[in-house]
Amino acid sequence: MNLLKLSGRHPGFVVLDSPLTTYKEGDPEPEEGDEEVAADVIYAFYQDIADNFKDSQVLIFENKEPDMALIPHMNYQHFTKSRKSGRYGFFPLRG
């Protein structure tokens, strides 16, 4: 995005779907275990986005939430999937 923006050939936004959720194909073998992304990697990912994309829009759909200390540095929207509290989802519900 940054490279193409320099040439004026990028709209200035990117959408990332689950960049921190590890891909799983079937159940793991007993000796393999479950791979998870480390908490420091999650923090560093969100910190990098907050620091380096201030003049761009990066939409991230992810189940792993950013650290509470980083939320004030971004436009964070939590989807609750609840009709009674918070924002239900990305698209508004029908009346």
Residue 3 has pLDDT above 70, yes or no: yes
At residue 93, the pLDDT reads 86
Instruction: Give the tens place of pLDDT for each residue, 6-46.
Output: 999 899 899 999 999 876 666 666 666 556 788 899 999 99
Q: Which of 78, 73, 63, 61 is nearest to 14 (CA)?
A: 61
Average pLDDT, the chain: 87
At residue 37, the pLDDT reads 80
At residue 75, the pLDDT reads 93
Reported pTM: 0.77
At residue 46, the pLDDT reads 95
Non-local (6+) Cβ contacts of 8 within 8 A are: none
